Amino acid sequence: MVTVLFVCVENSCRSQMAEGFAQKLGKGILKAYSAGSRPSGTVNPMAISVMSEEGIDISNQGSKGFNQLPVKKFNYVITLGCKDICPFVSAEEHIEWNIDDPKGGSVELFRRVRDDVRSRVADLVDGLLKKDR
């Protein structure tokens, strides 16, 4: 099973959405985790709300730091716009998705970010399926 870590600064919006989509779209293909360089300790309520519109419940996911992860080496580490703030995490491949942080933004911004994250996670899963053939 492929392991993927999604990283953003607070682990409250973007990386939580990515973890939720990856768990749904990549079921049986990958194991998804998320963490933040400065975790807020909570998942943003607006992120929970817009993900529920897609039928994905992330309300039980927690905002966490790297030391709370059960895995220490990943196949992929995907940062979602935190650039130099995110520390190095051991992985076979590092990928940067430069996605705007919706924190403090409108519900429309959260939806745009959610849709962008969904599209990128779907592409990742499709790529993994093609590699597996």
The active-site residue, picked from 82, 89, 113, 117, is 82
Burial of 20 (0-12, 13-18, 19+ CB in 10 A): buried
The residue range of the domain holding 42 is 2-132
CATH of the domain at 22: 3.40.50.2300
Per-residue pLDDT of the chain (133 residues; tens, 9 = 90+): 999 999 998 999 999 999 999 999 999 999 999 999 889 999 999 999 999 999 999 999 999 999 999 988 899 999 998 765 666 688 999 899 999 999 999 999 999 999 999 999 999 999 998 886 5
Give catalytic status of residue 82 as yes or no: yes
- As separate numbers, helices (DSSP H) first and strands (DSSP E) second, the chain gives 3, 4
Give catalytic status of residue 13 as yes or no: no
Provide the domain count of the chain. 1
